[in-house]
Amino acid sequence: MMELRAFTWKEFLWAARTGKLMFLMILFVLFGVMNPAIAKMTPWLMETLAGDLADSGFHIVATTVNGLTSWNQFCKNIPLAMIVFLLLFSGILTTEYEKGTLTMMLAKGLARWKILAAKGLVTGILWTAGYWMSFAITWGYNRFFWNDDSAAYVFAAGGCYYLLGLWLITLVLLMSAIFKTGGAALAAVVCSFAAVYLLGFLPAIKEYLPGFLFNAQTLLASAAEPADFVPVILITIAISVASLVSAFILFARRTV
């Protein structure tokens, strides 16, 4: 376990030295602030544009914003944060292939599972810290500006989006265990997600696919109940565990 802790710490230092840690923290703080800021500025923007739009024949009705408006903005922004996160860490394992450092680590006797476990731990911890920091900032500003109960099941909806990010991380680890380049691994993740997205158009199975978690936004307006998402949550957890186990098995067997 000493080796695992040491290698995990090394990965954190790598994220800090390369600027990825700082970039991620700034990104998630920015997203956390943007959600209530955009909601707060919406009436002013509508009022500013009302005159010009009226001249064009468009009439804008008065816009009322509240905590729900801000949380809806959070749900719109977090997929972009996921994309940036995946772009930053899609090569967390494949970079070791390309630089030849993986061979050196294995030659020193470091077990393969510890390498993959450290990579997964660091990625998961960074996603967890960044995501919930952004969530907490949005929650805090919403309480400060509106302090209302316009949004329902906030933490349930937040948990769904968080789980979606963890699922994508396990996909990155799985594809990184299969492919030797970051581009190929990222392309495989994108294709896998696209396949899940397209399958989501099938009414019979859409509620059981990980992509259905994007519909957690409906919880905020009480258009759905948390119980409606229990099946897809359990399935997503099972798929994530299966992806992680497969990644360890494939990485242990592959040639470097």
Contacts of 182 (CB under 8 A, 6+ apart): 90, 91, 94, 95, 98, 176
Weakest mean pLDDT among 39-43, 172-176, 242-246: 39-43
| pLDDT score for 83 | 93
Question: DSSP string covering 151-198, please?
Answer: S-SHHHHHHHHHHHHHHHHHHHHHHHHH-SSHHHHHHHHHHHHHHHHH
Q: CA end-to-end span of the chain, whole Å?
A: 24
Say how far apart CA 40 and CA 166 lie, in whole Å.
Answer: 31
CB of 36 within 8 A of CB of 142? Answer: yes
Q: Using 50, 70 and 90 to split pLDDT, how confident is the model at 10?
A: confident
Average pLDDT in the 41-49 region? Answer: 71
pLDDT tens string 198-250: 999 999 999 999 999 999 999 999 999 999 999 999 999 999 999 999 999 99
Say how far apart CA 11 and CA 27 lie, in whole Å.
Answer: 20
| pLDDT score for 68 | 92
What's the pTM value of the predicted model, to 2 decimals?
Answer: 0.91
Give residue limits of the domains in the chain.
Answer: 1-253
pLDDT at residue 58 tops 70 = no
CB of 110 within 8 A of CB of 4? Answer: no
| pLDDT score for 99 | 77
Quick one: DSSP state of residue 221?
T
Say how far apart CA 191 and CA 175 lie, in whole Å.
Answer: 11
